[in-house]
Homo-oligomer: A and B are copies of this chain.
């Protein structure tokens, strides 16, 4: 793990929400170049240290968001799913993946091997609901 990769991973771990490359860049300062951040994010994901999903929202366009993968504990997959508020654009952590049974069912029913899945939710968060608008 080079300095750039460690710094990138640390930023993902500290963040309370998925970050796009631009957000990582904001936080990484002069440590390294933009391209290195992209390459570090790839590296982290390829090595199982980060997860990503691509989300399109009207305000921010299409961007890939990264999270650090939790260290694996009993019964936990290590990867979370997220809710994105269309109003305040914050992410809410919905906790560890709950799709194990569903995935197993699909694998059995279709004789496929599911290696990964992407799941996220969008809507209105509790705060924005109260504020009405």
Closest B residue, CB atoms, query A54: B54
User: Is the CB of A71 closer than 8 A to any CB of chain B?
Assistant: no
Closest B residue, CB atoms, query A109: B94
Cβ contact within 8 Å between B86 and A112 = no
Interface string of A74-94 (1 = CB under 8 A from B): 000000000101100000101
A54 shortest CB reach to chain B, Å = 4
Cβ contact within 8 Å between B124 and A110 = no
User: Is the CB of A27 closer than 8 A to any CB of chain B?
Assistant: no
Cβ contact within 8 Å between A123 and B119 = no
Chain A facing B: main interface SS: strand
Cβ contact within 8 Å between B102 and A126 = no
Cβ contact within 8 Å between A115 and B86 = yes
Cβ contact within 8 Å between A123 and B113 = yes
Interface string of A89-115 (1 = CB under 8 A from B): 000101000100011001000111111
| A126 partner residues in chain B, CB cutoff 8 A | 110-112
B83, B115, B117, B120: the one contacting A112 at CB < 8 Å is B83
B102, B103, B112: the one contacting A92 at CB < 8 Å is B112
Q: A117 CA to B118 CA in the complex, in Å?
A: 10
